[in-house]
Amino acid sequence: MTRKQKLIQDVEDLLNKHGNIDDTSINPSLLEFMDDDIILSIINNLLDQKENTIEKDLEWLEKFKKQE
């Protein structure tokens, strides 16, 4: 597996770990024109989105904790 194939697999894995989303696969030919830095940027953006979602969920849960 090449580095680019591994990065594409990482993107797919991150996409598939988001709740309520059907399994996603990426046609590698769609990303062939992208270099590793662009694909890494996609990965970082997905990780940021996941982190933001977790933070929002925690804030939402804290509201219930404060009500008690």
The closest alpha carbon to 26, from 15, 38, 41, belongs to: 15
pTM of the entire structure?
A: 0.66
In a domain, 2, yes or no: no
Six-digit token pair at 27? Answer: 């046609």
- What's the pLDDT tens digit per position in 8-63? 888 888 888 766 667 777 777 777 788 899 999 999 998 888 887 877 878 887 88
In a domain, 1, yes or no: no
Instruction: Name the domain count of the chain.
Output: 1
The closest alpha carbon to 42, from 61, 19, 14, belongs to: 14
The pLDDT assigned to 41 comes to 93
In a domain, 33, yes or no: yes
Nearby residues of 56 by Cβ (< 8 Å), 6 or more positions away? none
